[in-house]
Amino acid sequence: MLRPKRLREKPPAKVWVRGIQCRELLVEFCASRDVLLEDVIGHDRDHFLVEARREFCNVAKAAGFGPILTGKAIHRSHWTVQYHTKPRMRDRKKAYNVERRKTKAADRLRASGQCAEARAGS
């Protein structure tokens, strides 16, 4: 007859414990900021909530939590957390967006000019 193996209680993984600590920090942050936890982890992009998320990302970074754990706590990508915590990354993205807008505007002008030339030629 086979005996069942005794299952030893394994301690939870270190990442799991750190994730719980980060989530507890988020709950404390929401209580001190008078913001609902559901709003912070929700999809709304209200300026007040985005500012609260940015502030939490910086608080979590100061507390020693990485971008992946912070992102999981607020249900966002770790790239979003890095965007909020690293000014160089934010400046680089803003410069990219400005350049992209200029290119798109030039394309629109070029396309409208071509349309006007085609109409004038007909």
**Looking at residue 33, what is its pLDDT?**
94
Q: For the residues of 19-85, what is the DSSP string, one character each?
A: HHHHHHHHHHHHHHHT--HHHHHSS---HHHHHHHHHHHHHHHHTT--HHHHHHHHT--HHHHHHHH
Count of Cβ atoms closer than 10 Å to residue 65 Cβ: 22
Q: Domain residues of the chain, as ranges?
A: 11-85, 87-122
By C-alpha distance, which of 122, 12, 18 is closest to 70? 18
- Tens digit of pLDDT per residue, the chain (122 long)? 566 666 677 777 888 899 999 999 999 999 999 999 999 999 999 999 999 999 999 999 999 999 999 999 999 999 999 999 999 988 998 999 999 999 998 888 888 877 666 666 65
Question: Which pLDDT score is estimated for 111?
Answer: 83
